[in-house]
Homo-oligomer: A and B are copies of this chain.
Amino acid sequence: MNITQIRNATLIIEYAGVKILIDPMLADKDAFPGLPGTVNSHIRMPTVDLPISIKEILDVDAILLTHLHPDHWDETACQAISNDTLIWLQNEKDQATLQQQGFTNTHIFKDGTYFKDITLTSTQCQHGYDMLFDNPAMAERLGEVTGVILSHPEEKTVYLVGDSIWTPQIETTMKTIQPEVVILNAGWAHVLEFGPIIMGKEDVLKTHMLLPNAKIVATHMEAVNHVLLSRAELKDYAEVNQIDSFVSIPEDGENVAF
C-alpha cells in the first residue's frame, strides 16, 4: 500500500489496487479565517498550499470523509468533485448533507461494508474531552466523527484513527484489531477553554506502546490554525523516545509505502 500525505488530514491511500482520497480540503492557502474559538484563530487557513494540483488529487476511485468539518471537506472540494463520484460517509446525517450538495453516489460504511474486496470498518472517535461534550453547543459543533479500518487479504490492515482524542475505545480497537499500520491525526488541535480535540505526540508514543510492531503515520499537522504540534517537534519527540523507526511524518506531497 501507498499513503500519500496531501495536506492536513487529506491523504490518498492506494490499497489493494484502489485509490481512496481521504478528507479533501482543497482551498488555496489563506482562503478562510482561522476557526473561531480555537487556538491561534488570528491565523488564516490553510496555512500552506496544496503540493500537487487538484486534478491530480482527484484522480482516485473513491472519496472517504470521516466527517464534514471545513478542514476535512471544504467548498473547493465540494465544487471540484463531480457529482457522481463514489463517496463513503460515516452516517445518514453526513449523507443528507452531501445529497443536498448534489452528490448522487454516496454510501455509508459500517462494520463489514465492502468496497470491492476491501473491508471498510467504521470505528469510534471522540473529537474532544468529555467536558466539551457536556456543553451542548460545543457537542453540536464538534459532533460525530469516525475512524476507519481498511482490511484486505493481501494487504496489511490499516487503522485511520480519525479526529479523536485518545479514548479507551481506541485502545480496545488497537488491541483487538492489531493493525500493522496506524494513521494518527496528531496535530494536537485545541479549542479554547476545552483543550485538545485531536491526538498529540504522547498519543503517538501510546500507540507504539500498545502496538510495538506497527508503523505509525502522523498526519493533520501544520496546515490549519489550531494545531499546536509541528512535524519537527514530533520528530524530536520520536527520536528522544527511541521510537523514530516506527513513526513516519510525511511532508505534504510525500508518500510512504508498506
Interface residues of A (CB under 8 A from B): 39-40, 129, 131, 190, 192-196, 200, 202, 205-206, 209, 228, 237, 240-242
Contact = CB atoms under 8 A, between A and B. Distances in A.
Nearest to A205: B195
Nearest to A226: B240
Contacts of A202: 195-196, 200, 202
A40 B237 CA distance: 11
A241 B129 CA distance: 15
A200 B240 CA distance: 16
A195 B200 contact: no
Contacts of A190: 240-241
A67 to B, nearest CB: 23
16 contacts: A39-B240, A39-B241, A40-B240, A131-B209, A190-B240, A192-B241, A192-B242, A193-B209, A194-B209, A195-B205, A195-B209, A195-B241, A196-B202, A196-B205, A200-B202, A228-B237
A237 B200 CA distance: 13
Oligomeric state, in copies: 2
Contacts of A39: 240-241
> Which of A200, A228, A241 has most B Cβ within 10 Å?
A241
A37 B215 CA distance: 23
A39 to B, nearest CB: 5
Contacts of A40: 240
A40 to B, nearest CB: 6
> Which of A40, A193, A196, A200 has most B Cβ within 10 Å?
A193
Contacts of A237: 228
Nearest to A210: B131
A244 to B, nearest CB: 13
A217 B131 CA distance: 23
A170 B206 CA distance: 21
Contacts of A240: 39-40, 190, 228
Q: Which 9 A-B pairs have the closest CB atoms?
A: A195-B205, A39-B240, A192-B242, A39-B241, A195-B209, A131-B209, A40-B240, A190-B241, A196-B202
A247 to B, nearest CB: 14
